[in-house]
Amino acid sequence: MSEKAPLLHYRLTTSDAEPTDGSKRGRAKVGRDGRGSGEKPARKLGVLFGVVTPTLLSMFSVVVFLRIGFVVGQAGLYQSIAMFLVAYVIITMTVLSVCAISTNGALDAGGAYYMISRALGPEFGGSIGIMFFFANVCGSALYVLGLVEAIMSVFGIPEEGGAASAGPLQVLPSGYLWSVLYGTGVLFLCFLVCLVGANIYAKAAFIIFIIVTTVLVSVFISFFIVRPVGVVLPSFNSTSLTIANFTGFRLHTLQSNLLPNYTVDYTTGTMMNFATVFSVMFNGCTGIMAGSNMSGDLKNPSYSIPRGTIAAVLITFITYNLLSLLAAWSCDRCLLQKDYSFMGDINIWPPMVTIGVYSSTISAAMSNLIGASRILYALSKDNLFGGLLVLMRKTSRSGNPWASVLVSWLLVQVVLFAGKLNTIAGIVTIFFLLVYAAVNLACLALEWASAPNFRPSFRCFTWHTCTLGIIGCLVMMFLISAIYAFASIAFMLLLLMLIHYFGPISNWGYISQALIFHQVRKYLLMLDVRKDHVKFWRPQVLLMVANPRSSTGLMTFINDLKKSGLYVLGHVKLGLLDGLPSDPLQSCYESWLSLVDHLNIKAFVNLTLADSVRHGVQNLLFITGFGYGLDTVCLTKDPREHRSPFFPSVRGTEEEKDLQEEEYVSVIADAVKMGKNVTLARYFDQFNREEVLGSGRKTAGQQSMTGPFVDVWPLNLLQPDSHGYVDTCSLFLLQLACVLQETRTWNQARLRLFLCVEAGCSMQEEEETKLRVMLKKLRISAQVQMVTWDEVVALHWQRLGGRETGNLAECAQSEEKMEQEERAQNEDGNEMFPNNAAQLTEEYICAVNNLILRHGAPRPAVRFLYLPRPPADINRYRAYLHQVDLLSRDLGPTLLIHGVTPVVTTDL
């Protein structure tokens, strides 16, 4: 199957299911017999042997034979049953979540890690996988120590009294170092089996299951047929013999065992309490994912995992509670507290329990060791941690991951130095509880995301069960050990962040993206354009990019200008979909998104295919935007730059045509008709953000440096006979300049506001005062500079033939009358543009350009100029664009802006 195969993929055959994530692992050529050519065996296991058996063996292990008496003796029958209820509520909620995820699609080998990672993405999968790996490592050490403890209780020489007080079978030296040595030997045997292959354990699992079942049956029978007897207690701290009674079923015995009586643990010398006893007992409830880990060998994982896991959980719950009741009803409290192996002492054939303990614990130890190695191997193949786990991918000819087995064995050996079973029981419990909490959280996230493809066939779960499972796991973690709980959660969050920021992008699907989409959709629906208000306006910019290679400076600048508003990069590809085999834009998105990542800008990408740039921009303006939609479109000034090449294309693969002046101005006119603000950007190929912003930084030995200047010319310089500075467009210029200054990177910039006046005019002081009052009301800090432009504006009146003051007044009155007529036409609903009746000369426009240059010292980082509306007459489009070109020539990075949206208010 190729890497671009459909997401929904099912195999009709169950003997050779290929992974659906596009990887090549586990593939085999299938013969006519349905089996692989020696690389991958056919799936054969069903519910009983594939799920129930390994789950029961993992859950029984040490606790069922060695810790039932400990739990009842310390906590009493009432609290023991309460502990089992709490533990099984927690694991049942987790089992429901596991069953839901496992029935949500076809499963391959990998077990719980495969399910979580493929369902939720690499962040959750990788972090949960690492924690599950450590849980299995510590669990394997726990079972090895349990086996050593069982061996020492029968064959170990007592530390106090030595060989003189030893029985005929007590021939093994005792002590911490000896226990570690014995554990190392047992672990080495498990390592050899796992190094050869998991098939040996799989073949022996059924035999071990029969042995454990037989031993349990003998234990239940012994409670009923064995007569009352005195049991000699292990003498750990004294040489005297102490005897406790097995009374048989006596009401007095039951009553004395109902309430808790926490004492010092005779194996560790520490005082017991509810939390420590629960942590030991909970280990008998772990192992619920042993069946899920067999998913690669199951005929029908989605069918077997839910039924087998639930059946195993129910069987163990009944068994534990029955054994607790029988022990409390028939054994003295002293016997339960001081002899963890009392079941062998009261058994009809004492060696039977010993055989059960040995077989179940070594089986569980190997199971955890194999599970840890397989999880580590799966993590290395998924390459979530780069080259850190690259050596773990090495396998034998038969496919056994010997490198992962070796590393897992070494880690288990390190844990063995803890020395006592109860010492590491709390650590193992914390790890398993954290994994269970993460599984519940994963299922809860899938449920909250409401993804259409999350429809598991197992429906006996809700968000309530997931939440209850999470809360239960977290509460018990902190009850057991707050320090370990904080440390493990912090470690898991660290792993999640590392994978999120540094891990490779996978095609498994990201639950974070599904949750973000779900929440964004919900809040977008809450946006109501009828509740829009000018004081909450923010820029929503569509930047039309023709050639991204030459527009990086402009893209980074607009990213600063947007101030947490919506920012969309638009691109038009010329062509029609008719006759094409597929949409040519689909292959371009990844390159554009890579560019966004490279520039570190917060922008969306929207591409369109159209027969012309004008129609393409219209399409983008119609469909682009969230909530209220886009309010500003930004174009490059030079229409010759406005081409639509394939990006990133091979040069020369497509004919490139210049965008004609008439079409370019038509784009501006269309945007204005649609009520959009228009921004023309020019000379931003000269804009270097690092140099500009670096000028405002402090350097060694200097107190401070002057920040960059931002110049604003709010007057329509191409309409010199207009009056006043306060209109919608000029206010929009001021607002954009203020928005730029308020951004974190431009907060050192200083605004310079240039007010053009005629020398000796009576309105000069009035206009300046009016402008300063307006800036104060708008809370805009700017340096106002008065610019006399009598010589410049005189060039305009000379062309009109009005040299005298009276003629100037007549021209002004004529212009005012024309504006009033246009406003009246707009109110009648007949939208039209000003006809620009005033004939501007190139001499006047060049003089204005020189005026701006003369007053640009020191050189500003960017200039904001007033952009007049396009003329109503299409035949004047070329002249209009020429005038704008002359006005902004050689000014450096410049924005020519025409605003139609009210964006400022003086109200609170």
Closest listed residue to residue 246, CA positions, set 150, 353, 342:
342
Alpha carbon distance 854, 791 (integer Å): 14
In the chain the first and final C-alpha atoms are separated, in Å, by 62
Predicted confidence band of residue 723 (pLDDT cuts 50, 70, 90): low
Who's near 821: CB < 8 A, 6+ residues apart? Answer: none
Alpha carbon distance 427, 303 (integer Å): 33
pLDDT score of 641: 43
Least confident interval from 258-262, 557-561, 790-794, 808-812? 808-812
Whole-angstrom CA distances from 563 to 168, 222, 827 are 84, 78, 34
Q: Give alpha helix (H) positions in 103-197.
A: 111-120, 122-155, 176-196
Alpha carbon distance 615, 863 (integer Å): 30
Whole-angstrom CA distances from 331 to 258, 280, 335 are 12, 21, 6
Task: Map tokens 């008998």 to a residue.
Answer: 284
Predicted confidence band of residue 259 (pLDDT cuts 50, 70, 90): very high
Alpha carbon distance 676, 632 (integer Å): 5
Query: Amino acid letter at 237?
Result: N
**Is the pLDDT assigned to residue 54 strictly greater than 80?**
yes
Find the length of the chain: 908
Predicted confidence band of residue 224 (pLDDT cuts 50, 70, 90): very high
SS3 558: helix
Who's near 109: CB < 8 A, 6+ residues apart? Answer: 26, 295, 296, 297
Phi-psi region of 890 (alpha: psi -120 to 50; beta: other; left: phi over 0): left
Who's near 817: CB < 8 A, 6+ residues apart? Answer: none
Instruction: Please write the tens of the pLDDT for every residue from 394-439.
Output: 877 777 788 888 999 999 998 888 656 666 767 777 888 888 888 8
pLDDT score of 369: 87
pLDDT score of 315: 93
Residue 408, token pair as written in the block = 């897992």
- β-pairing verdict for 229-232 and 243-246: antiparallel
610 pairs with which residues across the strands?
Answer: 574
Reduced 3-state DSSP string for 42-57:
CCCECHHHHHHHHHHH
For residues 664 and 571, the answer to whether their CB atoms sit within 8 Å is: no
Alpha carbon distance 371, 408 (integer Å): 9
Least confident interval from 314-328, 378-392, 597-611, 759-773? 759-773
Reduced 3-state DSSP string for 415-461:
HHCCCCHHHHHHHHHHHHHHHHHHHHHHHHHHHHHCCCCCCCCCCCC
Whole-angstrom CA distances from 195 to 25, 373, 887 are 20, 10, 80
Query: Amino acid letter at 871?
Result: P
Alpha carbon distance 329, 691 (integer Å): 84
Specify which of 352-366, 422-436, 689-703 reaches the highest per-range mean pLDDT.
Answer: 352-366
Instruction: Please write the tens of the pLDDT for every residue from 320-350.
Output: 999 999 999 999 998 888 888 788 888 888 8
pLDDT score of 201: 65
Closest listed residue to residue 592, CA positions, set 636, 646, 656, 631:
646
Phi, psi of 667 (to 5 degrees): -60, -45
Predicted confidence band of residue 317 (pLDDT cuts 50, 70, 90): very high
**Is the pLDDT assigned to residue 61 strictly greater than 90?**
no
CA angle 277, 283, 287 (to 5 degrees): 165
User: What is the mean pLDDT of the segment spanning 504-533?
Assistant: 75
Query: Amino acid letter at 124?
Result: F
Phi, psi of 773 (to 5 degrees): -65, -40
Alpha carbon distance 411, 375 (integer Å): 14
Least confident interval from 345-359, 592-606, 620-634? 620-634
Least confident interval from 304-308, 441-445, 465-469? 441-445
pLDDT score of 518: 78
In DSSP notation, 697-753 reads S--TT-S--PPPEEEEE-S-TT-TT---S-SHHHHHHHHHHHHHHHSGGGTT-EEEE
pLDDT score of 816: 52
Phi, psi of 296 (to 5 degrees): -70, -15
Instruction: Please write the tens of the pLDDT for every residue from 190-213.
Output: 888 888 766 676 677 778 888 989
Alpha carbon distance 130, 547 (integer Å): 45
Q: Give alpha helix (H) positions in 802-876.
A: 805-827, 842-854
Residue 239: DSSP 8-state: S
Alpha carbon distance 669, 675 (integer Å): 10
Phi, psi of 237 (to 5 degrees): -115, 0
Predicted confidence band of residue 220 (pLDDT cuts 50, 70, 90): very high
Residue 553, token pair as written in the block = 């400076």
For residues 592 and 605, the answer to whether their CB atoms sit within 8 Å is: yes
Alpha carbon distance 562, 709 (integer Å): 19
**Is the pLDDT assigned to residue 686 strictly greater than 90?**
no
* Omega before 158 within 30 of 0, i.e. cis: no
Alpha carbon distance 749, 752 (integer Å): 10
Instruction: Please write the tens of the pLDDT for every residue from 777-798.
Output: 777 777 888 888 877 877 766 6
Alpha carbon distance 245, 247 (integer Å): 6
| Separate counts of helices (H) and strands (E) for the chain | 29, 12
pLDDT score of 483: 87
Residue 30: DSSP 8-state: B
Please provide the average confidence, as pLDDT, over all residues in the chain.
77
**Is the pLDDT assigned to residue 656 strictly greater than 70?**
no
For residues 381 and 125, the answer to whether their CB atoms sit within 8 Å is: no
Alpha carbon distance 111, 198 (integer Å): 15
- β-pairing verdict for 677-682 and 894-898: antiparallel
Instruction: Please write the tens of the pLDDT for every residue from 662-684.
Output: 888 999 999 999 889 999 999 98
Count CA atoms closer than 13 A to 584's CA, side-chain side.
20
pLDDT score of 893: 92
User: What is the mean pLDDT of the segment spanning 746-752?
Assistant: 86
For residues 228 and 248, the answer to whether their CB atoms sit within 8 Å is: yes
pLDDT score of 326: 93
Alpha carbon distance 301, 303 (integer Å): 5
Rg (CA), the chain: 40
Specify which of 4-18, 37-51, 454-468 reaches the highest per-range mean pLDDT.
Answer: 454-468
Predicted confidence band of residue 488 (pLDDT cuts 50, 70, 90): confident
Alpha carbon distance 534, 80 (integer Å): 65
Closest listed residue to residue 604, CA positions, set 583, 619, 626:
626
pLDDT score of 895: 92
Which one has a higher pLDDT value, 891 or 829?
Answer: 891
Task: Map tokens 């780069």 to a residue.
Answer: 386
pLDDT score of 328: 93
**Is the pLDDT assigned to residue 124 strictly greater than 80?**
no
Closest listed residue to residue 817, CA positions, set 839, 837, 792, 831:
837
For residues 570 and 622, the answer to whether their CB atoms sit within 8 Å is: no
**Is the pLDDT assigned to residue 855 strictly greater than 70?**
yes
Instruction: Please write the tens of the pLDDT for every residue from 560-602.
Output: 888 778 889 999 988 888 878 888 888 888 889 889 989 989 8
pLDDT score of 798: 63
- For the sheet with 677-682, list strands across it: 604-610, 566-574, 540-544, 632-636, 677-682, 894-898, 862-866, 709-713, 750-757, 783-788
Torsion of CA 80, 81, 82, 87, to 10 degrees: 90
Which one has a higher pLDDT value, 820 or 530?
Answer: 530
Predicted confidence band of residue 649 (pLDDT cuts 50, 70, 90): very low
